[in-house]
Structure 1
Amino acid sequence: MKQVLEMFLDIGIRDIIDMAIVAFVFYKLFMLIQETRAEQLIKGLLVLLIATKLSEWSRLYVTNWILKNTMTLGMIALLIVFQPELRRALEYIGRSKFLTKSIVEIADEELNEKLDAVVEAVVSLSRQKIGALIIFERETGIGDVIETGTFINGDISTGLLINIFIPNTPLHDGAVVIRKDKIMAAGCVLPLTENPNLSRELGTRHRAGIGITERSDAVAIMVSEETGAISVAMDGKLTRFLDGKTLKRVLKNAYKPENEKPLFNWKWRQKDE
């Protein structure tokens, strides 16, 4: 008891700062792997660690030797298995506010105008039960995705978005990528999510939308071809059955969160004076 008391008395300001940093890092790591494959793998790793210690205390030498060697090889395997999560963590660090430069902010009325055009198109497609997949690029560049589609570089408009997704047209079967104030490309191919816990009701369009948000900070809008339901995916999380008003609020908050500084500032073309 005396040793424990002395240990607490020896704790200084630097020790407190050190523990706070470690706690913050572990918290951020937990938030990154929450509800992903990594979360289940971490649980399995903890079970192996406990089993290794128990076998050591119980003097089960053969079992302990096997577990220790398994752990050694497992650390190399983890780097391979966790590659998507590690990339996601590095991208998260790269998107931190102290590492990103501010871009010219879009005025609220201009943002509303562009979002209104997108929402109007999505609601129209939903009403007609025409499938659609629209991706908004934010901080993380998805140029590799844009390269898989047909380059457009056109102004955002309701008519253009609706025409792209009309069935049996060349570009309807794929994703539209919006960067800043431009529709950059259509017919783009997206990576599918590997989340095994998704409902079987979700088709390829929804799984592709979730997949791109797992690998970047993009926002994905999906319109179901079967039901016309509108869904939004962010950070690998899917929100379904939205109406136009809610969709606009979600999109606007994705770029300019309420009571916070913008997470992403769009740089718009300057109007000719």
Structure 2
Amino acid sequence: MFSWSDINFLDLLRSVVDILVVTYVIYKLIMVIRGTKAVQLSKGIIVVVLVWFISDKLGLKTLNFIMQQVITFSVLAIIIIFQPELRRALEQLGRGRLFSREVQEEEQRNQSIEAIVKATTYMAKRRIGALMSIERETGLNEYIETGIPMHAHLSSQLLINVFIPNTPLHDGAVIIKGDEITAAACYLPLSESPFISKELGTRHRAAMGVSEVTDSLTVIVSEETGGISLTKNGELFRNISEERLRELLEKEWLFQVKSTGGLRWNWRGKNNG
């Protein structure tokens, strides 16, 4: 018969602390890979494990054997695939930042939005063509690799300088991650949608193309008209004002206070057309 006297409270306390520490570490690791392609790769790994488990239970020997081989070599594959994320986590651990709260993210978010809006408005008035893609949950590393790495702090002056005509980085897209310009002169996939107006050029088609395959936000400045446009989730918002651009960015790039009291970046994907 069960008795409370049978419970060793020291062991119980040790187990609770152990579970809490492991949970916190896993949570922080998830925060490190959040917003990168590692999220999608993690989902693929989960699918492989589920297929292996189900095939074992159903007695599907051939499929189970294949899954066992995949899992056997997955440790090396994970190290190779997640190398950028692992390096990032170790760097943050070395700086003592892995377990710290990012209390300045609200200010960074506001500065990033203002830098994008200010640069866009400046270039629109002078009809300087521009294409800026802002990374959200889906990683844009595939397109970053096609451009020139920058890894520079985001500022309106730098954005304007990148798109000045007849400069090496003028053609192509700038890709932005948080408060950093990651790369310039990047190639984005062109949309093949037959519903795009024939009067729209390559910049608009590239912005639509990347919005169809990722959840990024892309800002376009027309070189012909100076009009400002924005794409998201396969939608195109044409000829918007400075105020409307700021409103769309703020609605999609929301800052939220976590229930724990910490701060974080967050994106919302609702239709605000």
Give the TM-score, by structure 2 length.
0.56
8 Å CA contact 1:153–1:182 kept in 2: the answer is yes
Instruction: Give the Cα separation in 2 of the matches to 1:235 and 1:105.
Output: 30
Deviation digits for residues 108-167 of structure 1 (CA, Å, limit 9, x no counterpart): 333112211111000000000010000000100010100000000000011100010000
8 Å CA contact 2:144–2:175 kept in 1: the answer is yes
8 Å CA contact 2:109–2:178 kept in 1: the answer is no
Pairing partner for 1:168 from 166, 169, 186: 166
8 Å CA contact 2:132–2:219 kept in 1: the answer is yes
Q: Which amino acid aligns with 1:147?
A: E
Deviation digits for residues 211-231 of structure 1 (CA, Å, limit 9, x no counterpart): 001000000000000000000
Unaligned regions of 5+ residues in structure 2, if any?
A: 1-38, 44-100, 267-273
Name 2:183's counterpart in structure 1.
Answer: 185
Q: CA deviation at 1:194?
A: 1.3
Deviation digits for residues 173-201 of structure 1 (CA, Å, limit 9, x no counterpart): 00000012210000000000111011111
Q: Any idea what SS the aligned residue of 1:241 has?
A: coil
1:191–1:106 CA distance, 2 compared to 1 (3 A):
farther
Instruction: Give the Cα separation in 1 of the matches to 2:139 and 2:104.
Output: 19
8 Å CA contact 2:106–2:255 kept in 1: the answer is no
Instruction: Give the Cα separation in 1 of the matches to 2:201 and 2:149.
Output: 26
Q: Which amino acid aligns with 1:222?
A: I
Instruction: Give the Cα separation in 2 of the matches to 1:199 and 1:154.
Output: 35
Q: How many residues align?
A: 166
Q: Any idea what SS the aligned residue of 1:148 has?
A: coil
Name 2:236's counterpart in structure 1.
Answer: 238
1:143–1:127 CA distance, 2 compared to 1 (3 A):
same
Instruction: Give the Cα separation in 1 of the matches to 2:224 and 2:181.
Output: 25
Q: CA deviation at 1:107?
A: 3.8
8 Å CA contact 1:105–1:265 kept in 2: the answer is no
Pairing partner for 2:106 from 105, 108, 123: 108
Pairing partner for 2:120 from 122, 126, 132: 122
Name 1:199's counterpart in structure 2.
Answer: 197
Name 2:79's counterpart in structure 1.
Answer: none
8 Å CA contact 2:209–2:234 kept in 1: the answer is yes
Instruction: Give the Cα separation in 2 of the matches to 1:254 and 1:106.
Output: 19
Q: CA deviation at 1:257?
A: 8.1
Q: Which amino acid aligns with 2:248?
A: V
Instruction: Give the Cα separation in 2 of the matches to 1:249 and 1:243.
Output: 10
Name 1:250's counterpart in structure 2.
Answer: 248
List aligned pairs for 1:1-273, cutoff 5 A. Answer: 107-256=105-254, 265=265
Instruction: Give the Cα separation in 1 of the matches to 2:247 and 2:110.
Output: 10
Q: Which amino acid aligns with 2:185?
A: G
Give the TM-score, by structure 1 length.
0.56
Q: Any idea what SS the aligned residue of 2:191 has?
A: coil
Instruction: Give the Cα separation in 1 of the matches to 2:107 and 2:150.
Output: 25
8 Å CA contact 1:211–1:236 kept in 2: the answer is yes
Q: Any idea what SS the aligned residue of 1:177 has?
A: strand
8 Å CA contact 1:193–1:210 kept in 2: the answer is yes
Q: Which amino acid aligns with 2:213?
A: R
Q: Any idea what SS the aligned residue of 1:242 has?
A: coil
Deviation digits for residues 219-250 of structure 1 (CA, Å, limit 9, x no counterpart): 00000000000000000100011111111110
Q: CA deviation at 1:106?
A: 5.8
